[in-house]
Amino acid sequence: MKNEKYNGWTNYETWRVNIECFDGWEDNLEPDEARLMVESIIEEDTSEGIARDYAMAFIDQVNWQEIAEHYNGEESE
């Protein structure tokens, strides 16, 4: 599987989670905090089963460090 950027982000998953969950975010953000927030959204919005499993697998591909750096005003390396 190729690891290509998507709209300037590490991958599609990172870009999508950023626009769906953090667009407009104005506070500093830690990578673990960001992941926990998204996991909470998934757990609240989906019942146990295949949809939740797919959503959790999707967020496993997210570059949480990149999202945190974006909202903390840091440059990704």
pLDDT tens for each residue of 30-73: 999 999 999 999 999 989 999 999 999 999 999 999 999 999 98
- Domain borders along the chain are 12-21+28-71
pLDDT score of 2: 62
Q: What are 6's strand-pairing partners?
A: 9
pLDDT score of 4: 75
pLDDT in tens, 6-32: 999 999 999 999 999 999 999 999 999
Confidence check: pLDDT of 77 > 60: no
pLDDT score of 75: 63
- How far apart are alpha carbons 77 and 70 in whole angstroms? 12
Residue 18 burial by Cβ neighbours in a 10 Å radius (0-12, 13-18, 19+)? buried
